[in-house]
Amino acid sequence: MPTHPPDFRLGGYHAVNDVVDEQFWQHIGINEDQLTVLAEHHTSDSGHSFYLLHNGAVTWGIPGEPQLVALHLQRDTGARTFRFAQAAFALPAMAQSWLIARGCPEEQILLADGMGSEPADPATRALEKRLRRDGDHFALLTSYTHDTEPMEITVLLRALDEKAPVPFRILLEEVDTTAWTHTLREGGFTTFEAATQWWEAHWSGEAIPLPPASPTARHATAASLPAPPARPAPPRRPGR
């Protein structure tokens, strides 16, 4: 992946207060030299900037942590101050959904050429499109990124609708590093226990197919939604 460092366009600006200044340093500034822009959009009035970033520093940290950062910068061009919001995600479509929900046009935050693998089939493209556009039906519970061979990502979601017949979903992305393409599939589970059993079995090396998901299911990506009472910790594969 080519290196494309971010330009946050903050020359002459300062954080709106000390708390924002410290948080921006902790979440963004401290890793700025490790960030690569995958997509970005700026409004014509300079009031808003939207970034989809890869954080290379995560690859040296705790195994499995999400490596993508969605960043929304809000500038007061009169006062020359800024605020920001950010969230970490494992999949580009989920980060894009978060940015779209904050006002970024979908077509402006798609991955730039060469910034990531290509969808391998129509099913992957359709699921990614649905993930980008439906951002308020499921809460993100956890994810796990395995960034060495075989490259895979799993994401666990929970329906916000308590009456949903299939309340838990798992997304599975598998990357073909030779063709530099990826497939994305989803599975549905009626209980948290069933979902975590599949999760643990998968990361233990068992080849268990995902159970079918409802064709009308919709996903959400808001990291700020309430967390579940338990958070599964995926076992590491050998060598991690």
Res 3: pLDDT = 66
Q: Which of 36, 30, 104, 35 minimizes the C-alpha distance to 73?
A: 104
180 contacts: CB under 8 Å, gap ≥ 6: 117, 118
How far apart, in whole angstroms, are the C-alpha atoms of residue 185 and residue 43?
A: 34
Q: What are the extents of the domains in the chain?
A: 1-116, 118-228
Mean pLDDT value across residues 166-187: 96
Q: What is the CA radius of gyration of the chain?
A: 18
How does pLDDT run across 3-38, given as a tens digit for each residue?
689 999 999 999 999 999 999 999 999 999 999 999
Give the chain's mean pLDDT: 88
Q: In this structure, are residues 209 and 174 in contact, taking their beta carbons and an 8 Å threshold?
A: no
Rounded average pLDDT over 185-203: 96
In the block, tokens 């902790």 appear at: 26
Q: Which of 94-98, 141-145, 231-235 has the lowest mean pLDDT?
A: 231-235
Q: Quote the pLDDT of residue 20.
A: 98
Decide which of 69 and 218 is more confident: 69
- The model's pTM is 0.86
Phi/psi for 217 (5° steps) reads: -65, 150
Model pLDDT for residues 136-171, shown as the tens digit of each residue: 678 999 999 999 999 999 999 999 888 889 999 999
pLDDT value for 4: 86
Half-sphere exposure of 224 (CA within 13 A, CB side): 8
Torsion of CA 20, 21, 27, 29, to 10 degrees: 150
Res 88: pLDDT: 96
Tell me what percent of the residues of the chain surpass a pLDDT of 70. 87
Q: Write the pLDDT tens digit of every residue in 59-83.
A: 988 999 999 999 999 999 999 999 9
Task: Give the pLDDT band (50/70/90) at residue 226.
Answer: very low
Close Cβ partners of 162 (under 8 Å, ≥ 6 residues apart)? none
